[in-house]
Amino acid sequence: MFDLVDILKSRTEEKAVAQELITTVLFHQTQECVDLVEEAFRFEGLVAPSMLENTDANIRQHVRDSHIEVVIVEANRSVNVSKHMERISHLLPNDASVIVIGSEDSISTIRNLKAMGFYYVFWPIPKQELIDFVRNVDNNRKHKSGLGKDREAKRVAIWGSKGGVGATIMTSEIALKLSSKRNSSCLIIDHDFRGGNMDICLFLQKHQKKTVTRSSITASADATYAASMVKKLSNMAALLSLESDELNELEMKEYIRSLADKLAGQYNFILEDLSRSTNSKADLEYISRYSDIILIVIEPTVSSLREAKRAQKYIEAQNSHARVVNVLNYTMPENAATITESDIKDYLAMRRMLSARSSQRWAR
């Protein structure tokens, strides 16, 4: 017997099963944007995004607790869209595609967001145009093309002007701040292949560096292999620390950098500890070329200051794009210092300097 009700019911169920899914979240500022996005997705048969207010707390919690393919950020009420996105960029996962919706009709805004790895659409946007844009972004993400490629970690090099100035503990404390206070994923790279104190600064019990053999560097190493060489410190922080009885210092440096390149898409920041006992002119050339930020750690002594000046001049000569920050670390009582902060500023021709006294402990 012909049953029209059963036929209609089965077709409805088939349609529901075939509903397109692009795991999406919208961090909104206005109800108008919520309504438009929700209607556009439902009308085109896509699963509607999660809808959350655009706050740092919501972004931190949601993107870390969920697997997100596409993140839509509304910035219609932001005074400066580029600065707003730059401020929250570290909260967003590197493997998600990010679409920014804003009302700034400016080429510079598009250029700035593209440099950060973000797409930009101008508000107001027709529903069909929005859906076509989302589908195109998702297709780019799946094929690792255009801005769909994973955004790479910001690289921060911590350069010790001499031994004992606190570069290692500075590295560990920056990682602590970024991972636990700023919810940014960090990879710490230990460039001391023979010993070092990174495990002490991180309060690691019975820490053993990963052993590297000559045969392991000749084998093809992908991102999965690189991840296996990392020690997880917390949900947001990890350590890459290697040693070898077969490889020399130069070979180890090249190998650890190749692993870091393969891991760059999995972290917001890569922090490289370059204590004076292990770095060289070749290292200075490398970080001048590839780092986004270089911290030169100085103590208030003449020898430390002179080495810092040499490093600063070399970086400038390389026409490096890296931002250089000099950090004065008081490893001794202030009254025991041989030079003053004012002397250091004058010698380095600086207006301002960061001062630090290492005190925090790693929270595991």
End-to-end CA distance of the chain: 68
Domain boundary among 91, 119, 148: 148
Q: Evaluate whether residue 268 is within a structural domain.
A: yes
Question: 81: how many CB neighbours lie within 10 A of its CB?
Answer: 23
Contacts of 139 (CB under 8 A, 6+ apart): 148
How much is the average pLDDT of 155-170? Answer: 91
Instruction: Give the per-residue pLDDT at 339.
Output: 87
Residues 79 and 209 placed together within one structural domain of the fold = no
Q: 192 — alpha (psi -120 to 50), left (phi > 0) or beta?
A: beta
Q: pTM of this prediction?
A: 0.71
Residues 223 and 305 placed together within one structural domain of the fold = yes
b/e sequence 314-344, b meaning 16+ C-beta within 10 Å: ebeeeebebebebbbbbbeeeeebebeeeeb
Residues 189 and 247 placed together within one structural domain of the fold = yes
pLDDT digits (tens, 9 = 90+) for 42-100: 888 888 899 999 998 898 888 766 778 899 999 999 999 999 998 888 888 877 889 99
Residue 14: pLDDT band by 50, 70, 90 thresholds? very low
Q: Strands of 119-122's sheet, edge to edge? A: 50-53, 24-28, 70-74, 97-102, 119-122
Residues 259 and 280 placed together within one structural domain of the fold = yes
Instruction: Give the per-residue pLDDT at 17.
Output: 46
Contacts of 36 (CB under 8 A, 6+ apart): 124, 125, 127, 130
Average pLDDT, whole number, for the chain?
84
Residues 93 and 191 placed together within one structural domain of the fold = no
Q: Evaluate whether residue 134 is within a structural domain.
A: yes
Residues 116 and 216 placed together within one structural domain of the fold = no
Instruction: Give the per-residue pLDDT at 357.
Output: 53
Alpha-carbon distances, residue 181 vs 91, 173, 286, 363 (angstroms): 11, 11, 30, 11
Residues 204 and 348 placed together within one structural domain of the fold = yes
Q: Evaluate whether residue 45 is within a structural domain.
A: yes
Instruction: Give the per-residue pLDDT at 186.
Output: 93
Q: Evaluate whether residue 3 is within a structural domain.
A: no
Domain boundary among 148, 181, 201: 148
Q: Evaluate whether residue 162 is within a structural domain.
A: yes
Domain boundary among 148, 183, 214: 148
Instruction: Give the per-residue pLDDT at 162.
Output: 87
Q: How many domains does the chain have?
A: 2
Residues 192 and 282 placed together within one structural domain of the fold = yes
Quick check: 296 and 325 in contact, CB under 8 A? yes
pLDDT digits (tens, 9 = 90+) for 17-50: 455 678 899 999 999 999 999 999 988 888 889 9
Contacts of 60 (CB under 8 A, 6+ apart): 91, 183
Residues 323 and 227 placed together within one structural domain of the fold = yes
Residues 180 and 313 placed together within one structural domain of the fold = yes
Name the token pair of 245: 């009885």
pLDDT digits (tens, 9 = 90+) for 179-225: 888 778 899 999 998 888 898 999 898 888 999 888 777 666 677 88
Residue 278: pLDDT band by 50, 70, 90 thresholds? low
pLDDT digits (tens, 9 = 90+) for 335-356: 878 888 888 888 887 645 555 5
CATH number for the domain including 332? 3.40.50.300
Name the token pair of 7: 């036929």
Q: Evaluate whether residue 1 is within a structural domain.
A: no
CATH number for the domain including 127? 3.40.50.2300
pLDDT digits (tens, 9 = 90+) for 226-274: 888 999 998 889 999 999 988 888 889 989 999 998 898 888 899 999 9
Q: Evaluate whether residue 364 is within a structural domain.
A: no
Residues 130 and 33 placed together within one structural domain of the fold = yes
> The domain containing residue 93 runs over which residues?
20-148
Q: Evaluate whether residue 10 is within a structural domain.
A: no
Residues 233 and 186 placed together within one structural domain of the fold = yes
Q: At what angle do helices 302-317 and 341-348 cross, to 10 degrees?
A: 30
pLDDT digits (tens, 9 = 90+) for 251-263: 899 899 999 988 9
